[in-house]
Amino acid sequence: MARLSAFAGGALIFLIDASVYVFRAYHSMLPDMRDRDGNPAHAVFGFARFLGDLIERVRPAYMAVAFDERRAGSYRNRIYPPYKANRERAPADLVLQLGHCRELCRCLGLAAFVDPEYEADDIIGTLAHLMRGQGVRSAFITRDKDLAQLVRDGDLFWDFGARGQFGYHDIERHFGVRPERFADYLALTGDEVDNIPGVPGIGHRTAASLMKAFDSLDEMYADLSRVARLKLRGAGSLGVRLSAHRDSVFLARQLTRIACDLRLGVAAGGLRRRPPDLPALSTLYDRLGFGPFLRRQGERLAQLPAG
């Protein structure tokens, strides 16, 4: 399994899937922490502590934070209106705290991004693609399996504070499929969390076996007769099912594939970590009712070399 220590001496950008860690703080911390207007602020506190702990541990030269702005008009909803329709709307107090979290990133000297059309995954994919062109590898800070498709040789997939760190070859050992084929794999299995339908009767093991036998969905559908010869239970009827659901599979892939070509208007230099703006950070913490713990951490961060 990959370890962060293996990246010593190499250029690396830390790309943070913010919603994962904001939601984790929102649901795990007691909501009795209030800002000066009486609104809950516990998710911001937890997110601030997470960011501070991460920065102190890895001392990054490059770091960026991607947020989701959940709107029904996203490009995936236009492709497939039921996409994520099974999810409840975020509570109003969480939406308010997400805005504070974006402000927090700016105060900490971190580039933060949100897009009304695209998801945090797409922002992260675009930034990873941009930096890869500059010879900079990526550490994806997330627990969202969808982002595994972005991992390439030299990259890291890491749910900070929870499960282990995965390199390129660890992804296949853990999930059963290579990163490059992950979007195709999800198109076959579907994704209940995102309300994406899969092919009936195809589970994770069968989908992984298909993605080991074929380089892509395109190759598989170009030669479906091969499926019947695979050593899979029910292989004889599997090709028939795949053929019947061809259109829905390719539709699903449009939903599961992460976009890496957004126009974010940023160059590599704009992703360098800057020193915290301590006066702005103090003003934010005053407004949120935070005590000395995070302020002291902010002062320590200000002493670290900038990117």
Are 92 and 39 in contact, with CB atoms under 8 Å apart?
Answer: no
Domain boundaries, the chain: 4-176+259-275, 179-256
Tokens read off for 212: 């080991």
Enter the pTM of the model.
Answer: 0.95
Strand boundaries in 111-227, DSSP class E: 111-113, 137-141, 156-158, 165-166
Rounded to an integer, what distance in angstroms lies between the CA atom of residue 89 and that of residue 154?
37
Q: In the chain, count of helices (H) and strands (E)? A: 13, 6
- What are the two backbone dihedrals, phi and then psi, of residue 265, each rounded to the nearest 5 degrees? 65, 35
Are 63 and 301 in contact, with CB atoms under 8 Å apart?
Answer: no
**Per-residue model confidence (pLDDT) at position 256:** 98
CATH 3.40.50.1010 applies to domain 4-176+259-275? yes
Tokens read off for 269: 């230099």
pLDDT tens digits, one per residue of 180-194: 999 999 999 999 999
Mean pLDDT of 223-231: 91
Mean pLDDT of 145-155: 97
Of 115-119, 158-162, 271-275, which gets the smallest average pLDDT?
Answer: 158-162
Q: What's the pLDDT band for 295 if we cut at 50, 70, 90?
A: very high
User: Residue 246: is its pLDDT beyond 70?
Assistant: yes
Q: Which CATH superfamily is 179-256 part of? A: 5' to 3' exonuclease, C-terminal subdomain (1.10.150.20)
pLDDT tens digits, one per residue of 3-30: 565 555 569 999 999 999 999 999 999 8
**Per-residue model confidence (pLDDT) at position 69:** 84
Query: One fold for both 4-176+259-275 and 179-256?
Result: no
Rounded to an integer, what distance in angstroms lies between the CA atom of residue 181 and that of residue 239?
19
Are 130 and 85 in contact, with CB atoms under 8 Å apart?
Answer: no
**Per-residue model confidence (pLDDT) at position 72:** 67
